[in-house]
Structure 1
Amino acid sequence: MAVEVKELLEAGVHFGHLTRKWDPNMAPYVYMERNGIHIINLYKTAAKIEEAGAALAKIAASGRKILFVATKKQAKDIVAEKAGEINMPYITERWPGGMLTNFVTIRKAVKKMASIDRMKKDGTFMTLSKKERLQVDRLRAKLEKNLGSITDMTRLPGALFVVDIKREHIAIKEAQKLNIPIFAMVDTNSDPRQVDYVIPANDDASKSIDKILTHVASAVSGGLAERKAEKDASASAKEAPKAKAAPAKKAVAEEEE
């Protein structure tokens, strides 16, 4: 899926922040200033989307998960939808402190959800008092809200994709500590040096977020398809010798007759 500068322009990806709010490290990605607002160079954005997409496709093809992070109102629903379509984990509620650096504890919380579900299936839940059942239900709802979207993430992710690195600074710091590659939409008010794969873009408008995430999800989907094709080819290769062996046995049997 090629990235067209025209479609980025129509989605308002080029609108940066007020010039007085800018981070000078974003200078290489700024095209010009207009009416006190920095305009992002969309040719560079398009190139960076392609670069990030290729790297994300490789990570997906290797079988590792990509964790999407966006807790701001404009991005939450878009990220949940796009990440959900490609079966990738995401955080759109408050970032749980230690989500990466204390992953074992987070996994315990996820397992707690599963144990509550088992209690409901095997009837144990109904042996509790009304008050206890209410407390368990509340705990389950809270865990589902904060961690329900990462139940399939059984190990640390292969990469992080972030919308608004200023807002998600805790997630960024945790990923940096663990050397997890960081991909992000970076606006003109942020420091791109914190990110491994920078996509210079307006991270405040839902149209802009949707456009970037569509390209990113498409790249990840391509990586997943490649992985599936390799698995299928490997399975077929294993079955082929068996199929050849069967007629050979039949021929031997006929000769003996």
Structure 2
Amino acid sequence: MRLQMAAPGRHPDFLDLPWGIPLESWESDRLVEVPRGIARHVVRFVNYQGVLYALKELPERLAQREYRLLRELGEAGVPAVEGVGVVTDRSTGGGQATASSTQELDAVLITRHLEFSLPYRHLFTGRGVPDLRNRLMDALVRLLVRLHLGGFYWGDCSLSNTLFRRDAGALTAYLVDAETGELHPQLSDGQRIHDLDIAEENIAGELMDLQAAHGVPQDIDPVEVAAEVRSRYEGLWWELTREETYGTEDRYQIDARLRRLNEL
């Protein structure tokens, strides 16, 4: 077993965990249950002195790539979970078993769980958040615009790949899954539009599933919400990136644009 960590002094060494066993079969006093969304990989959570960490088991190439992307996003100040480390060279049996009886195991990506955050399903089915529909859309739009401004192509933008945290009456969205992401110096319009297409399709499908399973208020139209996320994104992107030329007598136009940006 090999553990790669960027800042080992800030986190535990995780050496007391049963790395020689598939993650889904773990039994440990450190394992805890937390509200979580749907994941394509096995994900478990562990507690070290009140600090929670998410462990995701996936092929080494994907784990290393996602770890690198999360570190780069964190260094850029983008709202995303913190990439803590990657565990590789895992196998069953440790040093006691023969080569013929060992099984190579996938790598495990370690991230720090975002305190006080919730997946979207728990926001809709838990205690009511005032004007949840609009706050959720605004939070996701702000996150996606910020990612695109930084040259990050998500590739799988969805509510399931996002965590939400209440912040002074609003919601703030955080990227929690960068497995399909790509970081570029700058995104082309085609890359942004493709990301929006994926987001719109994913959001509509997720809300339809949620309505069927949990009876989300019927006044929320999944297709309409997904389309509005796209519309709000386009409005915010246009305000932030368009160029304007003002004369000395156009102070009122400058003030008007500043008001629009503040409203966004």
Higher strand content, 1 or 2 = 2
State the TM-score, normalizing by the size of structure 2: 0.26
Higher helix content, 1 or 2 = 1
